Amino acid sequence: MRYLCSVIICFIIWISSGYAQTDTLDLASGFSSQSAKMEELLGKLQIRQDPRITDLLVRHFQINQRKHGIDGYRLEVFFSSESNARQQSVRVRNEFNLVFPTIPSYMLFQTPNFKVRIGDFRNKSEALKTKATIASKYPNAFIVKDFIRFPELFPESVEQTEEQ
C-alpha cells in the first residue's frame, strides 16, 4: 500500500510538471514596439505575475527611453585646452571620419578641454579591439567610461543575411 501511494504521488508530480510550460505569449503593453520581432526570436512565453511588477517594468522602460543611451565605453583620441583647441578637435574628428568612416565619432567640450571620442562600446573588450585597430594612427588613444547611444537591436547586416 505504501509503495502504491508513493508511485501515485510521483506520477502526479511528474504529470503536473508537464503543464508548467505552455505555448502562449502575453507581452506587457509598454513593450509592443518591437513585439513582432521579439516574438520571433523568443518564441512564446506565458508570464503570471503581480500587475504592479508590469507597471514598474513599463515605468522603468519609459525612464530609460528618455535617456537615449546606456552606460558604456568610448575611446578618447584627442583632448586639449589650448586657445585653438576647438579647431584642433574639429580637424582631428574630420581626419578620423575620413580614415575610419564606420566608427562613430563625437566632439565634446568639458571645461576647459575639447575632446574627441569615438565608438559606442558596451564593454571594455569591444573597446580594446577597436583600440588595436586604430593604434597605428592614434597610439595615445585610451578607454573612458561614457554614456553611449543604444546599440542597434536588429542590425541591418543580420536582417539582410537572413532574408537571402
CA distance 66 to 87: 32
pLDDT at position 20: 58
Q: What's the mean pLDDT in 112-137?
A: 94
Partners of residue 41 on adjacent β-strands: none
Q: What's the mean pLDDT in 141-148?
A: 94
Architecture of domain 70-148: 2-Layer Sandwich (3.30)
CB 150 within 8 A of CB 104: no
Partners of residue 101 on adjacent β-strands: none
Average pLDDT over the chain reads: 82
Residues 6+ apart with CB under 8 A from 32: none
pTM above 0.95, yes or no: no
Is the pLDDT assigned to residue 119 strictly greater than 70?
A: yes
Residues 6+ apart with CB under 8 A from 45: 24, 25, 26
| Local confidence band at 34 (pLDDT 50, 70, 90 cut-offs) | low
Q: Where are the domains of the chain?
A: 29-67, 70-148
Lowest-confidence region among 40-44, 92-96, 111-115, 125-129:
40-44
CA distance 134 to 51: 49
